Structure 1
């Protein structure tokens, strides 16, 4: 397998992770909002949301790195 093929496979995987990450962030955001409306403690749910957001940002940065590698930079 060439480097180019490997980077393309990494890009496909990164895209899947990003889609899943965005879904998790959206779902967790809704959960935190619902909990807040219901007067429930949202501290742990909000912390988990922040973790999901940070992970998504890391995946987006990784995707940018893959694209740079594919561009030859």
Structure 2
């Protein structure tokens, strides 16, 4: 394992997680706006679920990188 490469990979994963969290917050805003306007929410909620699933995957991936870095110590 190349520790430098894994640290870069961890930083990239952290950036992706931060972006996903921003996207999820924006999606909640969209859902609120649609709800206040009496618009259908099904697609917006489905998108939110997908985003949350992706976030969980990325968080598990981040943990696997941390585990690898810990093993290398």
Partner of 1:49: 48
- Separation in structure 1 between the aligned mates of residue 36 and residue 56 of structure 2, nearest angstrom: 27
1:30-54 Cα shifts (integer Å, max 9, x gaps): 1111101110001001100111111
Output the TM-score relative to the length of structure 2: 0.93
1:16 is aligned to 2:15: yes
Consecutive unaligned residues in structure 1, runs of 5 or more:
none
Partner of 2:25: 26
Deviation above 4 Å: which 4+ runs of structure 1?
none
**Matched residue pairs, number?**
72
Output the TM-score relative to the length of structure 1: 0.93
1:9-59 Cα shifts (integer Å, max 9, x gaps): 110000000000000000001111110111000100110011111101111
Partner of 2:4: 5
Consecutive unaligned residues in structure 2, runs of 5 or more:
none
User: Over aligned residues, Cα RMSD in angstroms?
Assistant: 1.2
